[in-house]
Amino acid sequence: MRFRTLDDADLQGRRALVRVDFNVPMEDGRVTDDTRLRAAVPTIEKLRAGGAKVILLAHFDRPKGKWVPAMSLKPVVPALAKVLGYPVAFAEDCVGKDAAAAVAAMPPGDVVLFENVRFYPGEEANDPKFARALAENGDLYVNDAFSAAHRAHASTEGLAHLMPAYAGEQMRLELTALNRALGHPERPVIGIVGGSKVSTKLDLLKHLVTKLDKLAIGGGMANTFLYAQGHDVGASYCEKDLAETAREIIRLAGQNNCKLFLPLDVVVAEKMAPGAPARVRDSGSIDDDERILDAGPETVERLCRAMDNSKTLIWNGPLGVFEMPPFDKGTVAAARHAAELAKAGKLVAVAGGGDTVAALNAAGVSADFTFVSTAGGAFLEWMEGKALPGVAALAQ
């Protein structure tokens, strides 16, 4: 898909309405993780360098169209100013007189953060009237919030139809990386999909087996596939009612020449607790009181060999209960191997999803992957092959 970037824009003296994702973790009125603020810096700096007024639109939490003081974006301002290294203004509203006055007071190059757009019901309803009210304060629109692009809201989709629309720098990075991983990848392509539930990733699995050359299934969802193949999974988490669905996905993979990798061996324990006594079992040899909590060493070794023979990797979801040693070993070993290949230029490694990012951070390898998306739901829907309204609106 072709989309306009800020390289194409005349910025001097223009009012740039920039949709960012500042839905950041907060504690006692302070930002505890500024990752998303730092992600917006390249776009903000590019606009400032071009002489634009930078007007930031964002949501925080779920006020459901009501004014909730505890969900104000005002506490984000000091943290953003610290990241940028200069003052950031705050407008007490995102439309109307307060917003207009804040913009009128700005010289080119200044930055202002508007109040939470979700304080208005028109935001999530993608109400054209609310979108027009937002548009009154801008000459051009920049979407830099891929993580909110799967939602057709006024500030993520509606605005793009009311004025010239561009992808921000973070959005450009995200779309370029994702296209490289699944749109037009270098083959062979291998996918790793983990996590606990097959039910939450049905669309994803059905889509990927038609796109990938190889797909490894891990985490709790692998238990459902093992059960579907007649293996006893003991006391493990398992969606037994989805056994036929799992068999359908296995058949679909075969029809599309997608090689499916299910666990050969697993790490089990009688209870899920930090430091619980663990042992390795063949996938078909689980006792009734045992729970599968990680991929076994043979499974991980085979997965690493499969990565060695691939050119592109796309990863969503851990291989086990990575938050709880000793059940983190499979995920960490696979992540470190993928990172080594990516660092050596032998593999394009793209990963995304909240648990996946946390797992890669725990393994200390996020910086070595080709790209790590923090987008969560938008990343998952993109992997499912769904059109994202906020991205489609930027298409040329």
Whether 377 is catalytic is yes
Total domains, the chain: 2
Does one domain contain both 292 and 331?
A: yes
Looking from the CA of 361 toward its CB, the CA atoms found within 13 Å total 12
Does one domain contain both 65 and 128?
A: yes
Does one domain contain both 100 and 74?
A: yes
Q: What is the mean pLDDT of residues 335-362?
A: 94
pLDDT tops 80 at residue 327: yes
Does one domain contain both 222 and 153?
A: no
Does one domain contain both 83 and 193?
A: no
Closest C-alpha among 320, 319, 303, 317 to residue 357? 317
pLDDT tops 70 at residue 382: yes
Task: State the pLDDT at residue 154.
Answer: 98
Does one domain contain both 95 and 231?
A: no
Could you tell me if 97 and 42 are in contact, meaning their C-beta atoms sit under 8 angstroms apart? no
Task: State the pLDDT at residue 171.
Answer: 95
Whether 53 is catalytic is no
Q: What is the mean pLDDT of residues 292-302?
A: 98
pLDDT digits (tens, 9 = 90+) for 265-283: 999 999 999 989 999 999 9
pLDDT tops 80 at residue 106: yes
Q: What is the mean pLDDT of residues 134-153?
A: 96
Residue with the larger pLDDT of the pair 353 and 175? 175
Does one domain contain both 93 and 195?
A: no
Does one domain contain both 164 and 218?
A: no
Domain with 242 in it: 185-383
Does one domain contain both 164 and 217?
A: no
Which of the four pLDDT bands, split at 50, 70 and 90, describes residue 35? confident
Task: State the pLDDT at residue 377.
Answer: 85
DSSP secondary structure, 301-336, as one string: HHHHHHHHT-SEEEEES-SS-TTSTTTTHHHHHHHH
Query: Does 332 map to a domain?
Result: yes
Task: State the pLDDT at residue 396.
Answer: 64
pLDDT digits (tens, 9 = 90+) for 77-102: 999 999 999 999 999 999 999 999 99
pLDDT tops 80 at residue 326: yes
pLDDT tops 80 at residue 1: no
Task: State the pLDDT at residue 325.
Answer: 93
Calculate the average pLDDT of the chain. Answer: 95
Q: Which of 5-9, 15-19, 392-396 has the lowest mean pLDDT?
A: 392-396
Does one domain contain both 92 and 23?
A: yes
Does one domain contain both 372 and 269?
A: yes
Which of the four pLDDT bands, split at 50, 70 and 90, describes residue 69? very high
Does one domain contain both 205 and 286?
A: yes
From the list 51, 65, 109, 377, the catalytic residue is 377
Query: Does 62 map to a domain?
Result: yes
CATH at residue 67: 3.40.50.1260
What is the torsion angle, in degrees rounded to the nearest 10, for the CA atoms of residue 233, residue 239, residue 242 and residue 243?
0
Q: What is the mean pLDDT of residues 171-176?
A: 93
pLDDT digits (tens, 9 = 90+) for 196-254: 888 889 889 999 999 999 999 999 999 999 999 999 999 999 999 999 999 999 999 99
From the list 197, 281, 302, 386, the catalytic residue is 197
Rounded CA separation 364/343 (Å): 13
Tell me, yes or no, if the pTM score tops 0.85. yes
Which of the four pLDDT bands, split at 50, 70 and 90, describes residue 354? confident
Could you tell me if 334 and 300 are in contact, meaning their C-beta atoms sit under 8 angstroms apart? yes
Which of the four pLDDT bands, split at 50, 70 and 90, describes residue 182? confident
pLDDT tops 90 at residue 313: yes
Could you tell me if 85 and 91 are in contact, meaning their C-beta atoms sit under 8 angstroms apart? no
Query: Does 222 map to a domain?
Result: yes
Query: Does 390 map to a domain?
Result: no
Task: State the pLDDT at residue 186.
Answer: 95
Could you tell me if 286 and 293 are in contact, meaning their C-beta atoms sit under 8 angstroms apart? no
Task: State the pLDDT at residue 86.
Answer: 97
From the list 14, 15, 19, 36, the catalytic residue is 36
Whether 354 is catalytic is yes
Rounded CA separation 341/370 (Å): 10
Could you tell me if 158 and 133 are in contact, meaning their C-beta atoms sit under 8 angstroms apart? no
Q: What is the mean pLDDT of residues 284-289?
A: 92
| pLDDT more than 70, % of the chain | 99
